[in-house]
Chain A
Amino acid sequence: RKEVEQDPGPFNVPEGATVAFNCTYSNSASQSFFWYRQDCRKEPKLLMSVYSSGNEDGRFTAQLNRASQYISLLIRDSKLSDSATYLCVGLAGGFKTIFGAGTRLFVKA
């Protein structure tokens, strides 16, 4: 089993839709989690950090459920510019970072 697993998608949604991604992790000792956004052939860019209390930034909300060992990302009012691959990342002991393989999102007009 991969340490961090994501549904690869793709998710195809219309503009204005609300879309949610989940990510599960297997290492219960993982302390910190992040969501990154990656556009095709470009570097990942930090979207949000995720802590136990969750995090909200504009149209984006991230939640952490330690009991079920998953994190989620909710995007409200999707824009065409939200089309990208979203990467879930866990920070394991010793500062190793474990990336999920990513979920592709296509937002269509």
Chain B
Amino acid sequence: EAQVTQNPRYLITVTGKKLTVTCSQNMNHEYMSWYRQDPGLGLRQIYYSMNVEVTDKGDVPEGYKVSRKEKRNFPLILESPSPNQTSLYFCASSWTGNYGYTFGSGTRLTVV
């Protein structure tokens, strides 16, 4: 089944404790992207990647890192999480940037 898989689905952590949210797609898509969704603000793009080793900032990249060492994986790294990073995170992938994205099921992160 074609899909985007994120892990974990739910995570509660403490301020400052580094964490990684994994994202993997099995559709051989070139484009991958991370979003956060907050009430009233909609989805905002954090980072995106056009191909292996090619990444760029979205609208809200501060406090996040990404890497794209393999085509299928695009992990999101929070080096020092803070409470304002409490949010619902989605990973997504696409054949190219001009086509719609397929989204993962989301990761609900709470930073206390």
Is the pair A95, B50 in contact by a Cβ cutoff of 8 Å? yes
Is the pair A43, B90 in contact by a Cβ cutoff of 8 Å? yes
Is the pair A43, B59 in contact by a Cβ cutoff of 8 Å? no
Complex formed: what's the CA distance from A31 to B97 in Å? Answer: 11
Complex formed: what's the CA distance from A34 to B100 in Å? Answer: 7
Complex formed: what's the CA distance from A94 to B98 in Å? Answer: 10
Asked whether B86 is an interface residue with its Cβ less than 8 Å from the other chain, the reply is: no
Number of contacting residues on A, CB 8 A? 22
Given A95-B48, A99-B43, 19 additional A-B pairs, CB 8 A: A36-B100, A42-B106, A43-B90, A43-B105, A45-B103, A49-B99, A49-B100, A87-B42, A91-B97, A95-B50, A95-B97, A96-B48, A96-B58, A97-B58, A98-B45, A99-B35, A99-B44, A100-B42, A102-B42
Of chain B, the residue at the smallest CB distance from A97 is: B45
Give A7 Cβ to nearest chain B Cβ, in Å.
13
